[in-house]
A and B are shown apart, each in its own frame.
Chain A
Amino acid sequence: GAVVSQHPSRVICKSGTSVKIECRSLDFQATTMFWYRQFPKQSLMLMATSNEGSKATYEQGVEKDKFLINHASLTLSTLTVTSAHPEDSSFYICSARARPDNEQFFGPGTRLTVL
């Protein structure tokens, strides 16, 4: 299957700082990328959907000014958690797909801990 990388895999930061997470599709062009958040023992929660070259579509309840998403190319999307707080600590997972009817391939996830 297709490969999606995510970096960093783990980050610990102080409250109030910003953290950037990168998501890359390594062997295919991802017209759409998705950002999910997952709290322990809970299901995936879609945060936003981004199409290359256009603004991300955020799910209800997700603050777009706090979670900045940039999908600048067909192989790269970034999520920046601005002014992170302890309640933002979670497992952030990106996924990518080439076409609307394709499966989503997931990155390995980024575990964020805000102290």
Chain B
Amino acid sequence: GQNIDQPTEMTATEGAIVQINCTYQTSGFNGLFWYQQHAGEAPTFLSYNVLDGLEEKGRFSSFLSRSKGYSYLLLKELQMKDSASYLCAVLDSNYQLIWGAGTKLIIKP
């Protein structure tokens, strides 16, 4: 079956760095997405990786290793507004988006 694993919850301190990991086993691979979802709101797109390596976008970076079925989202200089759930999703061979359950990130002052 298809499976995406990410930690349920993480806690970090304002100003620090946090890495949210995602491992996946899917039938085929056409890219991996990270979304941010604040409580009570719809998800918003953060990043898309289809090739191995690191993609940097401001304070957020996303890394992909296809051979390991692994990705991480790196958040630097954490701000209180970064408290949200972070969803990892993989586009499989049928271009279906397979969602992880999300990682709730709690930022403490």
Q: Which residues of A contact B (CB under 8 A)?
A: 1, 6, 34, 43-44, 46, 49, 91, 93, 100-101, 103-109, 111
Contact = CB atoms under 8 A, between A and B. Distances in A.
A101 B91 contact: yes
A101 B44 contact: no
B107 interface: no
A103 B101 contact: no
Contacts of B40: 91, 111
A41 to B, nearest CB: 9
Given A43-B101, A101-B31, A103-B48, A108 B87 contact: no
Minimum-distance CB pairs A-B, first 3: A100-B95, A106-B42, A43-B101
Interface of B: 30-31, 33, 35, 40-45, 48, 50, 87, 91, 95-97, 99-102
Residues of B contacting A: mostly:
loop
Nearest to B99: A44
A105 B101 CA distance: 18
13 contacts: A6-B42, A43-B101, A43-B102, A44-B87, A44-B99, A46-B97, A91-B40, A93-B42, A101-B50, A103-B33, A107-B42, A108-B41, A111-B40
A109 B42 contact: yes
B30 A44 contact: no
